[in-house]
Amino acid sequence: MMESIDSKYYKPLIAVVSEAEHGKTVRAVLERQLGVSRKLLSQVKLTEHGLTVNENRAYTTAPVVQGDIIRVRMEREISEDILPQPIPIQIVFEDEDLLIVNKPAGMIVHPTHGHYTGTMANGVVYHWEQKGERVRFRPVHRLDEETSGLVAVAKTSYVHQQLSEQMQANTILKLYRAYVYGIPEPAVGIVDAPIDRNPDEPHIRIVTPEGYPSVTHYERVETFRSNDGNPAASAVRLKLETGRTHQIRVHMQHIGCPLIGDKMYGSKQGAVEEWEEAASRQALHAETLGFKHPISRQWMEWHAALPPELILLEQKLRQ
Question: Which of the residues are catalytic?
Answer: 144
Q: What is the rounded distance in angstroms from the CA atom of residue 294 to the CA atom of residue 179? A: 33
Q: What is the rounded distance in angstroms from the CA atom of residue 197 to the CA atom of residue 232? A: 30
CA dihedral 156, 289, 281, 318 (to 10 degrees): -160
Q: How far is CA 179 from CA 87, 108, 247, 315, in A?
A: 28, 21, 15, 12
Q: How far is CA 164 from CA 42, 114, 121, 265, in A?
A: 19, 27, 19, 28
Q: Are 235 and 270 in contact (CB under 8 A)?
A: no
Q: Name the residue type at position 99.
A: L
Using alpha carbons, select from 257, 255, 285 the residue that is nearest to residue 270. 257
